[in-house]
Chain A
Amino acid sequence: MKILIPLKQVPDSTVRVSVAPDGKSIKTEGITWSISPYDEYAIEMALERKDDDPSTVVSVVTVGPARSRDALRQALAMGCDDASIVIADEAIPPVAIARALAKVIEDAKPDLVLCGKQASDDDQGFIGPALAEVLGWPHVATITKAVPADGSVELWREVEGGHEVWTARLPALATVHKSEKEPRYPSLPGIMKAKKKEIPERPFTALGVDSSGPMLEVLSMEPPPARGAGKILKDGDPRHLADQLATALRDEAKVL
């Protein structure tokens, strides 16, 4: 089985994001970049299938600036088999990103495509469903488990109260909410191997896909409103503190 994961490089989840002087973008100087967290879960999910069946081939691809190669190396070091990049330095309409990924997928012919449920920079959750739409494939959103069978795959989707289990004929696409295990760390041999792998690149313009499409325009960005320093209750009998808090929530905060 061939599994392909479109991934995006984003600021690491530990980065304290701050707004740049232009007021419409974030400061990127000196920040750490990583694979977007849900994409990392998608990789882990694919590698778990590879653990079960070593004939599984796991590929990663990204559309983005040259720095995104580091995210692909990270994926190779985790154990993915191959990686490629479509270089796109300028802002491209999201639907055109989906078209570019569709082109890569038509060439690579994977059985299963796993996207993250959303990229933790734009937080849109658009590319996965849009890619399935461009490909004309079915998709299942926000899965937590993929169990391959003959010519099909069982996709588990966590919903309120349990899991819906869907069966999709291959090829199919799913967006990933979580893997069964935590994303694995790259192993030392994995890192060494990843260093030596070629990462073929193509410029976006070489794909010959339509680059038109609606775009959102950022007018301004700001940090969420700062929270004022709160009240600290301590050093008392728990029952007394509890009464104090309940009364404050009713009379001051008015939430009870």
Chain B
Amino acid sequence: MKVLVVAERKGTELRRVSLELAAKATQLGDASVVEIGGERYSPLPFVSALAKKVQADAPDLVLLGATQNGRDLGARLAARLGRAYAADVTEIAAQGGSLEITRPMYAGKVRARMRVPLPAVVSIRPGAMRLREGAPAPQVTKIEADAAAEKLTFTKFAAVASGGKRVSLAEARVVVSGGRGLKGPEHWNLVEELADALGGAVGASRAVTDAGWRPNEEQVGQTGKTVTPDLYVALGISGAIQHLAGMTSSKVIVAVNKDPDADIFKVADYGVVADVFEFVPAFTEAVKKVRST
């Protein structure tokens, strides 16, 4: 099977998910990796350039990362080329003349095994594919976005003041999320310091993003991001079904809540019944100590 991987870059480096895709693509068959150059992602110039590449190379499968841009680009590309499309796939294998994939549905409450006819466009969830440590960096062909296809005007970038540069939530191996139990944005240093000690990203419940304590992009759950880190730490989060939808596939879950009956404890591997204001600073210190010995 001929596979074309669409790589994404963050700053100067390829995103981890792109490396994961490249590794998977070589298992599936004859793989090549393409990157689309342009000042910033925009659907029409990117789709136009990529569609031409796909028409020229005729890969059976186009693989993208299920990132914010990858999902958008993949959907419009599939529509333009009349290909089958599957988003946010967590397992993929060739099966006869088609693909057999697994993907979450119903906001993560169900996992579906599906047959995808070829040719197809598939976006793969970051972290779902194994990355072989020490594998050679993939060879990436660069194509340019088709500026002539643009119908939008980029007006400006409105930056939000945020505390330092952390790992992005969707790809982080550790996520520390805070909920309404933290009582207010002024206490977020507790969440951030623990995240820093663990080398992780910061997340939040919707109660927190709705209250404007934290930006929407940090929201975890059904209407936020789905995360699958090795370690998820929920601080002062009750464990509403919509929050669980975004984090129960994490490998290890730690929950800190002062209510012993909180629903979050039903999914936690380690549940700590304690006050976040007393426990979290002590835990941050303990993590630092354990990591340095």
Contacts and interface: CB of A to CB of B under 8 A. Distances in A.
A167 interface: yes
Nearest to B101: A216
A17 B78 contact: no
B157 A164 contact: yes
B55 interface: no
Contacts of B273: 232-235
Contact of A14 (B82, B241, B252): B241
Interface string A202-224: 00000000000111111111111
Contacts, number: 259
* 6 nearest A-B pairs in the assembled complex, by CB-CB distance: A214-B84, A130-B79, A234-B273, A246-B286, A138-B151, A242-B282
A94 B289 CA distance: 53
Interface of A: 11, 13-14, 16-17, 19, 26, 37-38, 41, 94-95, 98, 118, 120-126, 128-130, 132-134, 137-142, 144, 154, 156, 158-169, 175, 177-178, 182, 213-224, 227-228, 230-235, 238-239, 241-243, 245-250, 253, 255-256
Which of B78, B254, B272, B287 has the largest number of chain A CB atoms within 10 A?
B272
Contact of A233 (B69, B75, B223, B272): B272
Interface in B215-259: 215-217, 222-223, 230-231, 241-242, 248-249, 251-254
B93 to A, nearest CB: 12
B230 A167 contact: no
A144 B216 CA distance: 9
A255 B75 CA distance: 35
A224 B154 CA distance: 41
Contact of A224 (B230, B248, B266): B248
Give the secondary structure class of A's interface: mixed
Interface string B110-152: 1111111100100000000000000000000000000000011
Contacts of B260: 232, 234
Interface stretch (B26-34, B158-166, B184-192): B158-166
B104 A126 contact: no
A178 B216 contact: yes
Contacts of B272: 232-234, 241, 245
Given A222-B113, A224-B249, 4 more contacts: A141-B43, A163-B160, A218-B114, A220-B112
A215 B241 contact: no
Interface residues of B, number: 89
B246 to A, nearest CB: 12
Interface of B: 40, 42-44, 68-69, 71-72, 75-76, 78-80, 82-88, 100, 103-117, 120, 151-160, 162, 168, 174, 198, 210, 215-217, 222-223, 230-231, 241-242, 248-249, 251-254, 260, 265-275, 278-279, 282-283, 285-287, 289-291
A239 to B, nearest CB: 5
Contact of A128 (B75, B100, B155, B230): B75
Main secondary structure of the interface of B (DSSP, over half): mixed
18 contacts: A16-B109, A19-B110, A37-B222, A121-B105, A121-B106, A123-B107, A126-B75, A126-B87, A137-B151, A159-B68, A161-B160, A214-B120, A223-B109, A224-B248, A233-B274, A245-B272, A246-B283, A256-B198
Tell which of A14, A120, A137, A238 has the most Cβ of chain B within 10 Å. Answer: A238
A37 B215 contact: no
Contacts of B252: 249, 253, 255
Contacts of B120: 214
Nearest to B273: A234
A224 B109 contact: yes
Q: Which of B72, B151, B155, B268 counts the most chain A CB atoms within 10 A?
A: B72
